[in-house]
A and B are shown apart, each in its own frame.
Chain A
Amino acid sequence: MEENKSENLNHFEKHRHPDLSFFEKDINKSKLVLVGNPNVGKSLVFNELSGMNVEVSNYPGTTVEIIKGYYLNYVVYDTPGVYGVSSFNDEEIVARDEILGADIILNIVDATHLERDLFLTQQLIDMGKKIVVLLNFMDDVKRHGIEVDLGKLSQFLGVEVIPIVAVKKVGFDEIAQGIENAREGVQREGRHSSLHSMLKMVGSQAEALMILEGDEFIAKRHGVPPGNARDEIYIERRNRVNYIVNQVVVDVSPKKRYSELIGRWAIRPLTGIPMLALALFLAYLFVGKFVAQDVVNFTEQQIGKAHWEPWLREVISRIIPVSSWWNALLVGDFGIITMTTTYLIFLLLPLVTAFYIALSLMEDSGYLPRLATMVDRTLSVLGLNGRAVIPLILGFGCVTSATITTRLLGTEREKTIATALLQFVIPCSAQLAVIAALLAGAGMLPMLVYTITILAVLIAIGTILNKFLKGESAPLLLDLPPMRIPRLENVIRKTIYRTYNFMKEASGWFFVGALAVGIAQITGFLVYLEQLLIPLTTHWLQLPADASIAFIMGVVRRDFGAAGLYHMVLTPMQITVALITITLFVPCIASLMVMMKERGLKEGMIIWIGTWVVAFFIGGLVSHIVI
């Protein structure tokens, strides 16, 4: 055993890929890796094992996070949910490398979806890994009208199968013993000889299988050509899994479940659109009304502006004289320290938290995949598939965080389109509140003109990008998880985790942006820019000269721009034109920074400059029609 291990280690060293360096720190501990399909309760098991001592890091070269904890003498890794081990996308690549480096695998399986989940289980077994299966959702099994023969399942797989109910922590006491008993399962004889000769070449059964299954990355790592037997191996495995499922699952009473009915309503446009409206309305009440107005009003005004900023100013002014430009840069109107901290902590933090709560609720209930299915065809006009609905909806909360979420889209092309739509047309919640208030005061016709214009621009931009961007967008292929009532604990954990990551990403960039604006103000560039815009504002948009200040403020923070219009005397149609322009106008500094990081400097700048052009062009066009 010990010998075997050191041999493995040598092998590991010899073939080490630079990306695997994160394993090194815990080289003396055994690696326990949690593997499973999406939404099978991996995180709940992970949290149980590792407690609060969790490290999160970005997997090198990808945007996927690795979550690591400790349990007894093991270092425990949580992996992204995958349907199989291969290299089709970033999540799979990360999961694959963690699985390859694992000593013991805890495979979490959804007992109500054995057909889907056991494909991964069988693949792990075929890789020759020591595993133990945790069969989750055992309480749902009865409700689904099925029975699972655990003894037989364990016999067929050749590994221990532990029934659990992760949300209720049922069966968790058995996990420790299960890990001790982890062993290699029943591997199929058919592939033995080809696997054996590949094994001789690469030194690890798991990697040998990956190569036979045509994994180009692993093949390249060992300098051998990838195999071409994937389809055969997969179909063989699929048939084996179907056979096992037929043997161990008994349908007792295939009755219709209530949640399934709701799930189907969510997909059909006739019932799904009202459901979406209801979901958005509830989200609006919580995020847009409660948090964006009541909570933020308290945190930003009462804490930030009334106490935090004056305190900061006083402290800084003791060190740096008030009259110096240093003082202005740090704690002035656009002070790097004052503006960014107030903005980040007292405005963005509550908003983003609220949005992630709403998103996690929609996600964990199984609603989001169904919404994505319903809108798939519609979004395909814009060159997107249904999954893009997630960043687009998030954009109404915060365009910055939504821009980060475009990562989940399949191709670069889709990421570009979704990012452009977000930055051009989607108003964030900070802006939305001001827009809604101004439009409500302006009347019915302005509201109509505004909505139609914005929608038309959205469709136009999507269609144009779809036509001219090279390549093809990925089609929708989505496994719909069952509708479930979200677990509060899980929602909270997800929210904290996502909010933390968002703040980590956006904060630094926001400081940079604030610095740029601060310097622009001190050097007089900001005023110069305002002057430059006045002719455009008065002649082309037919608005008062003051409006140019509102636009420039909009560069810093979108709601500053809209709020600047509050104090101006404008006709209802002037309000419409101003709001259209502000909505289409450049995103805030933070989202510009995040966009440039996500999409690159060139693409970011093209989109940013594009928003200037489109905003003034469309604004002026509407102005000459309605005013």
Chain B
Amino acid sequence: MLKSKNTIPLNSATTGQHLRIASVPHGTLKAQFVRLGIHEGEKVKCLERLPGGTIVVQKNRQQIAIGHQLAKQIMVVVLGDKEK
């Protein structure tokens, strides 16, 4: 879904970027992501990217930390200023 040139793995997002989730891994992980409000099409903000690739995303008032191995498996589209 929504494959474009801007699609990158979440672990290479940078702090402050606004992102749209393009895909999350399948199986029980997906269920857990959906419960936390992270699934295809949702917009999130990369609140922090720590050295090594651990990512903290923010969706409204909620913050979720995602380990680097997991962040690698999530594809996101970097949004331009207009799309936020």
Contacts and interface: CB of A to CB of B under 8 A. Distances in A.
Interface of A: 83-84, 86, 88, 112-113, 115-116, 119-120, 144, 146, 230-231, 234-235, 238, 242, 263-264, 267-269, 369-370, 372-374, 376-378, 380, 385-386, 475-480, 482
Given A116-B37, A479-B62, 4 more contacts: A113-B62, A378-B52, A380-B69, A477-B33
Interface residues of B, number: 31
Contacts of B28: 88
B2 interface: no
Q: Which interface residue of B28, B54, B56, B70 has the most chain A CB atoms within 10 A?
A: B54
Contact of B48 (A83, A113, A267, A386): A267
Nearest to B64: A479
B39 interface: yes
A475 B69 contact: yes
Contact of B47 (A235, A238, A264): A264
B70 to A, nearest CB: 4
3 cross-chain pairs, A with B, having the tightest CB-CB distances, nearest first = A377-B52, A476-B67, A475-B70
A627 B31 CA distance: 58
Interface string B17-50: 0000000000011111111110100000001101
Contact of A83 (B36, B39, B50, B63): B36
B66 A477 contact: yes
Contacts of A83: 32, 35-36
Contacts, number: 115
Given A115-B60, A238-B39, A372 B65 contact: yes
6 contacts: A144-B61, A263-B63, A267-B50, A376-B54, A476-B67, A479-B65
A78 B68 CA distance: 34
Given A231-B30, A238-B39, A477 B64 contact: yes
A235 B34 contact: yes
A480 B39 contact: no
Contacts of A372: 65
Contacts of A476: 54, 65-67, 70
Contact of A376 (B33, B61, B63, B65): B65
Contacts of B61: 112-113, 115, 144, 146, 482
B34 A238 contact: yes
A480 B64 contact: yes
A113 B60 CA distance: 9
Given A475-B70, A477-B65, A478-B65, A268 B37 contact: no
Nearest to A249: B60
Contact of B56 (A235, A267, A378, A385): A267
B76 to A, nearest CB: 16
B80 interface: no
Nearest to A117: B62
A140 to B, nearest CB: 10
A459 B45 CA distance: 34
A115 B37 contact: yes
A119 B37 contact: yes
Contacts of A119: 35, 37
Nearest to A123: B35
Given A88-B28, A267-B48, A376 B67 contact: yes
Contact of B36 (A146, A269, A479): A479
Contacts of B56: 267, 373, 480
Contacts of B60: 115
A86 B29 CA distance: 12
Contacts of A269: 50-51
B16 to A, nearest CB: 12
A144 B60 CA distance: 11
B50 A268 contact: yes
Contacts of A479: 36, 62-65
Given A115-B59, A267-B48, A374-B50, A477 B34 contact: no
A88 B30 CA distance: 12
A385 B48 CA distance: 18
A84 B28 CA distance: 12
